[in-house]
């Protein structure tokens, strides 16, 4: 099929646009700029690693159910793995957020990368909140009784009933994780497309010798 014919079909049109926006060498690069060799650039992928553990342990918990995660020792272990993976997820995500904030990660046409990251952070808070509500213990009842007043005060209590386990569980194990994962995929594709944000340029010193400048730019 010629290029002209391919562009007439919707699949060909999507493929051409996708390859133009994100060519294979950008989608799966084998080299990164030298400035990426810093620990501060590690926290994004650390967040994704924690997310993988969260999803994997969450799938096991969801398949086995509350009676298992409360009663059996293996169930309690996976419950703890899920909880502590969430703790690690938020810990490294906040360090990632600080790093990107202080290096102005929205520069160079990367505003959508920044905004998707910020939205992931907010949706993840909602996902964690519905997770605490899905524990099926006194802790979740306490959090629900505290949270319902706030949600009623902002007028969403009729649609988001924190005392309804089924509703909160659906939000926690399906709707919000799907949004988080979709946004993470979009976020990573945007990073691939626009590249990792470089650090701010070093301030140029007046009358500095040329050899010094060369050494600093490395």
Binding positions for another protein, rule: CB under 8 A: 34, 37-40, 42-43, 91, 94-95, 98-99, 218
Sign of CA dihedral 53, 54, 55, 60: positive
Closest separation in Å from C-beta 102 to another protein: 9
The span from the CA of 40 to the CA of 49, in Å, is 16
* Closer of 34 and 210 to another protein (Cβ): 34
Written in H, E and C, the secondary structure of 102-135 is HCCCCCCCCHHHHHHHHHHHHHHHHHHHHHHHCC
CB of 44 to another protein, least distance (A): 12
C-beta of 33: minimal distance to another protein in Å? Answer: 10
Using the minimum distance from each CB to another protein, give the nearer residue, 9 or 145.
Answer: 145
Nearest to 54 by CA among 31, 26, 82: 82
- In the complex, the smallest distance separating the C-beta of residue 36 from another protein, rounded to whole angstroms, is 9
Residue number with CB closer to another protein (59 or 196): 196
Query: Which CB, 83 or 189, lies closer to another protein?
Result: 83
- d(C-alpha 59, C-alpha 70), whole Å: 16
- Secondary structure in 3-state letters for 43-98: HHHHHHHHHHHHHHHHHHHHHHCHHHHHHCHHHHHHHHHHHHHHHHHHHHHHHHHH
Contact 188, 22 (CB under 8 A): no
Determine if residue 28 is left, alpha or beta; phi over 0 gives left, psi from -120 to 50 gives alpha, anything else beta: beta
**Strand, coil or helix: what is 159?**
coil
Residue 88: CB minimum distance to another protein, A: 11
CB of 218 to another protein, least distance (A): 8
């Amino acid at each position: 099929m010629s290029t002209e014919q391919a562009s007439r079909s919707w699949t060909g049109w999507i493929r051409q646009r996708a390859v133009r926006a994100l060519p294979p060498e950008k989608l799966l690069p084998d080299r990164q700029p030298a400035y990426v060799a810093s620990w501060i650039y590690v926290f994004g992928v650390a967040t994704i690693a924690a997310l993988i553990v969260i999803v994997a342990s969450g799938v096991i918990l969801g398949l086995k159910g509350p009676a298992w995660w409360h009663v059996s020792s293996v169930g309690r272990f996976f419950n703890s793995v899920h909880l502590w993976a969430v703790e690690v997820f938020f810990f490294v995500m906040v360090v990632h957020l600080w790093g990107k904030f202080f290096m102005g990660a929205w520069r160079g046409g990367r505003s959508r990368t920044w905004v998707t990251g910020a939205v992931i952070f907010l949706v993840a808070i909602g996902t964690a909140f519905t997770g605490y509500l899905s524990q099926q213990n006194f802790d979740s009842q306490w959090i629900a009784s505290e949270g319902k007043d706030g949600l009623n005060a902002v007028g969403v209590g009729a649609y988001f009933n924190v005392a309804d386990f089924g509703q909160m569980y659906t939000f926690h194990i399906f709707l919000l994780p799907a949004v988080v994962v979709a946004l993470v995929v979009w976020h990573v594709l945007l990073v691939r497309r626009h590249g990792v944000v470089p650090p701010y340029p070093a301030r140029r010193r007046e009358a500095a010798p040329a050899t010094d400048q060369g050494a600093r730019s490395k």
